[in-house]
Structure 1
């Protein structure tokens, strides 16, 4: 019994050394995946339907990303509830570096649009601002206006309506903000998707619409509708004759939609950084950049910190728009 205390101290010392060894091993293990990653296919959830702009851009970009990383990126479409279904699945997925989600600016809208979300913004971390999607202001030919300034003046005197693909969509938020800031007598008309909007815009049932260039622009060029401005900071390279909203007389009115990538909270930062860098290399490559331009997107490829700054900025902006317009889905 006299030796028991010595054995106890020796056991405690061994246990301490063992724990220290485990801690060091754990640290090495936590850093190891960055060098080896990825060692298997990566899953990217797209919370929208197949064939849509987000789906096409994600597939275009991540095909190139997969080639650079040496592992395929498997796209899984999980549409519904303004992207919250797919985002929720990613937020609850293992933070092992193999689960990511592609989101639009609607991700920041949802934080104010829904009173209660099945996830918290803190459940996800920013990876990359992949690309911007410039939004153009289109108007029906029946309106007696030639530019955005004349449309705003007309809308102060006459009732207008503006369409979007649904409550909370980027087109809804941009239209709502423009109406608020210019005291327009404008009513939002939500549609079930984008396809039926164009027909009603051409027939004059819809007065105006903020939308990407891809579908409406050919009809504007053929004279069936008008295109008045683009809500981006610079003119769109594909349509250099179309002024920005700021040039058209609306200082500070810059509202792009965008595509970005998020990961579950706890995903090792070296992996997040590696994927972010790879995305930047992919979108800035001549081949991918040209494809994005054809689709109406502008290649970005930001750092995680830059993307988080954009998320915070847009979350605050959309909150103000939503509260002023008293928009809610719940």
Structure 2
């Protein structure tokens, strides 16, 4: 868990930079289907330990998903799998390491949407063409949690409060450019309200300030905040998934709460250095897709606030392309920029 640090308050500001990533993402998708290497080159894979880079601190959503899956994958591949946490710069430190790794099937990157968001906000030492999609492991839908002392009980109440008090409502995220940041910005756009974004360095200080009423709300997975809802120390107003969360059927979806089309969330997926042999990528995608269907894995996911995903490499590539366009539009409309 990250140590608390002073939150960085910032208004959404005009962004003079505009990023065109279509060509680069097309190259990344092409790499998914045209990765160099033959079946013969992958015949003896894996014959040494495999490293999975998690570009976040231990104990976070990506780390939990990765470790649940890799615990099962190791025995299937008859090989040791090492999960290595390399946090920093909104996941770009670990992503850069993976992008520069040998494309030999022994280094992979486990990532969240921040990976694609970063290309729209930062100048990076790597491009979308440097890594290729493997498979989506999980969906990480979000709940809208608000401080207990905020005088609202529904999303409609929250919107009305924001319109009457345009300078009071704040929303937290674990960093500028995170999916929670953009989800909050999208909520403000769709609700036609004004909010102040508060960026933190990790989830622990967010929870501390939310419980203390120093920040108004956050879009976050269920795992940690829901226990405080049960203690009447926080309120959960809505869920960003298409359908209600299985264990919290009393909490409406954002669509049911009055925002048609507001279905969003985070996800966890696996990437590989570009030109990793396609037979290896296909094997990883197939094995992981089977793993997330196992009943005990599904239960562990649900307990932690995730939904199993799986599927093909092509399906994951299509999701990344769609989300890249969606996040680019939110960034543009909300005039989001970072230093």
TM-score interval, normalised by the smaller of the two chains: 0.7 to 0.9
* Structure 2 unaligned spans of 5+: 1-36
The residue aligned with 1:211 is: 220
Q: Does 1:156 align with 2:172?
A: no
Residue pair 1:33, 1:271 contacting (<8 A) in 2 also = no
Other-structure match for 1:66: 74
How far did residue 326 of structure 1 move? 2.4
Cα deviation digits, residues 272-317 of structure 1 (max 9, x gap): 1110010011111111111111111111112111111111111111
Higher helix share: 1
Q: Which whole-Å CA distance do the structure 2 matches of 1:224 and 1:248 have between them?
A: 22
Q: Of residues 126, 139, 143 in structure 2, which corresponds to 1:136?
A: 143
Deviation per CA, 1:159-212: give whole Å up to 9, x if none. Answer: 311111111122111101100121112111112211122222222221111111
Task: Report whether the alignment pairs 1:124 with 2:131.
Answer: yes
- Which residue of 68, 74, 85 corresponds with 1:77? 85
Residues 36-185 of structure 1 aligned to structure 2 (within 5 Å): 36-114=44-122, 116-159=123-166, 160-185=169-194
The answer to whether the Cα contact below 8 Å between 2:240 and 2:265 also exists between their aligned partners in 1 is yes
Q: Which residue of 2 aligns with 1:301?
A: 310
- Of 206, 220, 226 in structure 1, the residue corresponding to residue 229 of structure 2 is 220
Give unpaired runs (5+ residues) of structure 1. 1-28
Query: What is the Cα deviation at residue 34 of structure 1?
Result: 3.9
Q: Which residue of 1 aligns with 2:338?
A: 329
Q: Distance in 2 between matches of 1:319 and 1:145?
A: 31
Give the alignment partner of residue 197 of structure 2, picking from 179, 183, 188. Answer: 188
**Structure number, greater radius of gyration:** 1
Aligned pairs for 1:313-324 within 5 A: 313-324=322-333
CA distance in structure 1 between the partners assigned to 2:337 and 2:106 by the alignment: 34
Deviation (angstroms), 1:53: 2.2
Q: TM-score, normalised by structure 1?
A: 0.88
- In structure 2, distance between residues paired with 1:243 and 1:56: 26
TM-score normalised to structure 2 length: 0.86
Q: Measure the CA separation in 1 of the matches of 2:269 and 2:257.
A: 29
User: Equivalences for 1:258-277 in 2 at 5 Å?
Assistant: 258-277=267-286
Match of 1:232 in 2: 241
Give the drift of 1:37.
Answer: 2.1
Does structure 2 conserve the Cα–Cα contact (< 8 Å) formed by 1:34 and 1:274?
A: no
**CA RMSD of the aligned region, Å?**
1.4
The range that moved more, 100-109 or 317-326, is 317-326
In the alignment, the residues of structure 2 paired with residue 67 and residue 130 of structure 1 have an alpha-carbon distance, to the nearest angstrom, of: 18
Moved more, 233-242 or 215-224: 233-242
- Matched residues, number: 301
Q: For 1:264 and 1:110, locate their aligned partners in 2 and report how far apart those are by CA, in whole Å.
A: 17
Q: CA deviation at 1:64?
A: 0.4
Query: Equivalent residue for 2:26?
Result: none
Tell me: higher relative CO, structure 1 or 2? Use CA pairs within 8 A at least 6 residues apart: 2
Please give the alpha-carbon distance, in whole angstroms, between the structure 2 residues aligned to 1:203 and 1:46. 31
Which residue of the partner structure matches residue 6 of structure 1? none
Task: Provide the residue aligned with 2:14 in structure 1.
Answer: none
Is the 2:67–2:83 Cα contact (8 Å) retained in structure 1?
yes
Is the CA contact 1:171–1:211 (under 8 Å) kept in the aligned structure 2?
yes
Contact 2:52 2:108 in 1 (8 A): yes
SS in 1 for 2:269: strand
